[in-house]
Amino acid sequence: MASPWLIVLSSFLFATMGVCVKLAAADYPPGEIVFYRGLTGAILMLALARWQRGTLRTSVASMHFWRSLSGVIALCLWFYAIGNLPLATAMTLNYMSSVWMALFLVGGAVVLGSARVDGRLIATVLLGFAGVALILRPTIDEQQLWYGLMGLLSGVIAATAYLQVTALGRAGEPEYRIVFYFSLGGVAAGALTLLWSGGLHAHTWKGAGLLFAVGLLATVAQFLMTRAYSTGRTLVNASLQYLGIAFSFTYGVLLFDDRVTWMALLGMLLIVLAGLSATLLRSRATPADTKNAPLES
């Protein structure tokens, strides 16, 4: 399958995963959903490693630890936001990770005393923040502002997780090993949250099905996206990846009666434009990174 179609399918699967997370959040806390998502992913990656005759042994365990820590925190915050916000809003706030990476580049240039800070990056960051303001204004009331901030924070931490995935790729770590240790981190973090959430909840067939679907959809989507970024063009892939927002918006309207406002639509468009601009500028600045896919945080 060509890389553009891999990205489209991956974006659809991630949006569908978001639906499952939102439905499961009615019966399970975010930490427990992360636990089962990680457990499913770890089992699938273990099976894939055996099938490919690969090994899970690594010489960069500390890198995996920090990548898993940041990725799992971002994932918990994202699931928390999905359970309490309109689906498209939560998805869009997480997609701000590309804009945050642009902000990191600007901040790094200032700290290092660079003679020239790229004005295009600054414009990209401001465009992204304008999109956030438009989205939060019509779709979030005062009671939901906390959840909106958590969704925004998930994008910040997801940006750092992406940078760590890039570093692991440069270190020669295969995708299945990166995803395995990330999934294992989800199991560990989810298990810790169970200590103060009352332990594992009793399952219904519906609940168990939703939890399994979250893990399966997320893992398959990760691999499709990774394959697409390793064989296709970065900017084309990034453009199509934002279809996940459109899929989530459609799901939200059809399944959850989410409101449709022109301010929300304009905000999503601005964030998409900012994300694409950040991706283009970053790929020009660091061509070596274009082979590394932004795996789900």
Q: Which of 174, 156, 163 is nearest to 226 (CA)?
A: 174
Helix boundaries (H) for the chain: 3-24, 30-51, 61-84, 87-94, 97-111, 119-139, 145-170, 175-197, 205-231, 234-241, 243-256, 262-285
Q: Which of 235, 278, 224 is nearest to 95 (CA)?
A: 278
Indicate the Cα dihedral angle 181, 242, 127, 258, nearest 10°.
-100
- pLDDT at position 161 over 90: no
Instruction: With beta carbons less than 8 A apart as the criterion, state whether 70 and 1 touch.
Output: no
Quote the crossing angle between the two packed helices 175-197 and 61-84, to the nearest 10°: 60
User: Which of residues 199 and 173 earns the better pLDDT score?
Assistant: 173
pLDDT digits (tens, 9 = 90+) for 36-66: 999 999 999 999 999 999 999 999 999 999 9
- Distance, in Å, from the CA atom of 26 to the CA atom of 6, rounded to the nearest integer, reads 31
pLDDT digits (tens, 9 = 90+) for 265-296: 888 888 888 888 877 776 665 544 444 444 45
Q: Which of 276, 265, 237, 225 is nearest to 95 (CA)?
A: 276
Q: Which of 22, 38, 100 is nearest to 73 (CA)?
A: 38
